[in-house]
Structures are given as structure tokens and as C-alpha cells.
Amino acid sequence: MTATTTLGSAPATAPPPRADLATRVRRRAVWALVVAIGVAALVALALSTNAPDQALDPDDVGPSGGRALVEALRDHGVTVQVVRSADELVDADPGAGTTVVVGNPTYLGADSTDALREATSGADRLVLVAPTAEQLAGLDLPLTSSDLGAEVTVTAGCRSTVARPDDTAALVDTRFVPVSRGSGARATLCFALPNPRGDDKAPPEDFGFGAALATVPAGATHPEVVAVGVGSAFTNRFVGQESHAGLAIRALGHSPRLVWYQPGIGDLASVDGTGQSAWPEWLTPAAVILGTAVVVLAFVRGRRMGALVTEPLPVVVRAVETTESRGRIYRRARDRGRAAAVLRLGTTERLARRLALSPHAAEAVQAAAAAASGMPPTQVAALLAGPPPTTDTELHALANALADLEERVRTS
């Protein structure tokens, strides 16, 4: 008797080779585009992100470093000591005969500002390069500041311990405006900034729009403070232009000893957790955008996944052909264990139907088959649930033994 079966879980024909090739090419092109966009984004972020701790670094010989100024100070007989944390600043003990300069306040947090105020209370002078308004308030100075970043030539127009009336500077990073704060001492302003909306004929001593340099006299809790808004002028690239070198030497070479405090990223931390974040502000929205893009891409690429849909084949395949084809596949794969498991499962199901038992009750089927065939129960159990064969000869012998067992039960 010939049995027939219908295969309905797979398409009748494979897609044409050309269509399959086009699908693979499109898939690879999509992934290549995604990788290229990701690499381009990382490169753009890397190029647009400056290393703030390198600006006016005393050991940096690059254009934005301050090594040239350090060497000039040493040539003038000043001993320069570099510290890179608030703890090192405290250990340096900057007392009388010492000037302290904060070269880059980007990493100067609230707690580090307090440590700076306490550590420098007995120093000769404190020089702040481009301090923020929060740092000036933390030091209780009668000044506030804002970023400017202008390439404009300004003249001192004043006389102080740092500036001369005819000194000029060509780069202004920060502007200072006096406020009422602290002991009430007034700051001396130099390098008046031109008001972009004001009168071009305003006198040089008109500080209505603020100043690029301010000097606060010594008070009960702080030494003389010099707030410098022309920090870029002190870098290796520009220190030799205009009056930049003279300003830098007079500001930082006031004492025989200079402690150059370059805050590290650890100085951002705050004991109460309210300090500034070490991560740039754009990192969180960038992470959200990239995460959303990944989710959308996964959804788009996985939209075709779903439940399998069965459909009838346009042809009917004889059962014996299907069985022979599967056998050839098992033989080619040399998967004797899988072939033996299929043979045993088929024998167990047929014996269960013959003996009116459930095919899931394996032990009951084995016992009933042993009783019906007259074979020892251990031999029947070894045939139906023994170890898998390791050679083709053992697999052939197992198939014959299973067929013999079925024949014995059928004829009993």
C-alpha cells in the first residue's frame, strides 16, 4: 500500500538565485551604511570635542599649552611647581612668598573651590585664568564673569600691579563685571571691552561693558586676586604677541615661588553629590538618539518575522520518497543518533497503537511489547531506549531488530 502526505510548512520552490543574491547585497549595503554612519558620528564627536584639561597646561608644548610661559618664568628666577589636584595643592602649602595660578578652571568644582580658598589664604597672590561666575562667587570676590571669546585688541587704560596703561591684548576669553560682594573692596579694572552696541568713540577707561582683567586687593580671607580674561594670550601660540608676555610675567612672577594648579577631573567631585558632571552635556541626548535608532532599525529589520503560515504544495509527494529523502539527508550528515531516534520513535508509536496504549507511556509500551513478543523486557528496553549507535553497522542492526520486534508483536 502506498501512502501519501502533503508538506505545507515550507514554500514549494526556493527563490531564484538572482533574487537571493540581490537580497544579500541589499542587506549588506544596509549594514554597511549603518556602520559608516556610526563611525562618522564618532569621528565628528571626537573632532568637535576639545580636551579642556590641555588648555594652558604647563607641560604641554602644543599651541594651546603653557610650557613657553613656564620656561620664561623660570628664566626670571621663579620656581614653578605644578600640582594637578586640590589635595596636592594643600600639600604644597602655598604660604608667604608664593603665587598660586589656576591655569584652567574647567575641572574646578565647588568643593575644590573651597579648598582653593582655604589653601591660598596666606599666599601672596592668587591668579585665576578665565574663572566662571560660580567660582568667583565661591571665592567671595566682588566680581562676576561671562564667556566672550572675541578677537579684539584692547588697551589696558589703567595702572595696576599687573598692567601698564599702554599694554595691549588681542584675545579676550572672559569679561568681568564688578558686583557688591564680600568685604566691600572694589576691584581695579583693566582692558575695557568695547560695547558692540555702544559709541565707538567711548574713552578707553569706560568699563560699562566690563573688563578683560580685574585685580582685587587682599582681604581677610584671601590674598590679592588677579582675574585674567585673556588666558588664550598666555598660550604657547600667542604669548609672544602684543603685550601678552609682559602681562603674564607680571601676573605670575610676582613671588619667588609659583604653584601652578591645573585641576584634574577628580576635582569636579562634590562631597554632597552636587558637583558638576564629568560628562559633556550632549552625551545624554546623543545616547538617547543612538538608542532610538538601534530600536527602530531592529524593528524595521525584524518586521517580517512572525508566525509560520502553512500552505499546500502544488504537488503531492509520495510518503516513501519523503522517507527516502530524509534517510539520505541523515546518511550524508552521518547523524546516526538522530536517525536511530526517529526509528525508535516510529516503532514506539506503532507498537502503542497496536497495543492500545499511549505512546508517551514508554515503560508501559516496553513491558507490553515484551509480553506480546516473548522477548526479555531488558532486550526490548535496550531496543526502544538504548544508547545511540556509533557506526553504520550498529544502525543497520538496530533497524532490523526494531522491524523484527514489530513483526513479533503483530503476529502474536
Q: Which whole number is the average pLDDT over 330-335?
A: 78
User: pLDDT confidence of 10, banded at 50, 70, 90?
Assistant: very low
Q: Buried b vs exposed e over 286-300: b needs ≥16 C-beta within 10 Å?
A: eeeeeeeeeeeeeee
> Which residue in the block uniquely carries the three cell numbers 594648579?
261
Report whether pLDDT(9) > 50. no
Q: What is the pLDDT of residue 308?
A: 67
User: pLDDT confidence of 18, banded at 50, 70, 90?
Assistant: low
**Top-confidence residue, 339 or 134:** 134
One-letter amino acid identity for 84? R
- Residue 168 and residue 149: Cα distance in Å, rounded? 16
Q: What is the pLDDT of residue 15?
A: 46
User: pLDDT confidence of 324, banded at 50, 70, 90?
Assistant: confident
User: pLDDT confidence of 17, banded at 50, 70, 90?
Assistant: low
Q: Of 10-19, 40-49, 81-90, which one has max mean pLDDT? A: 81-90
Report whether pLDDT(110) > 60. yes
Report whether pLDDT(341) > 50. yes
Q: What is the pLDDT of residue 185?
A: 78
Q: What is the pLDDT of residue 143?
A: 93
Q: Specify the range with the lowest mean pLDDT, choosing from 24-33, 110-119, 166-175, 355-364.
A: 24-33
Using CA atoms, how far residue 285 sits from 40, 105, 392, in Å, is 17, 25, 63
Report whether pLDDT(327) > 80. no
Q: What is the pLDDT of residue 21?
A: 65
Mean pLDDT of all residues belonging to the chain: 83
Q: What is the pLDDT of residue 53?
A: 46
User: pLDDT confidence of 135, banded at 50, 70, 90?
Assistant: very high
Report whether pLDDT(298) > 60. yes
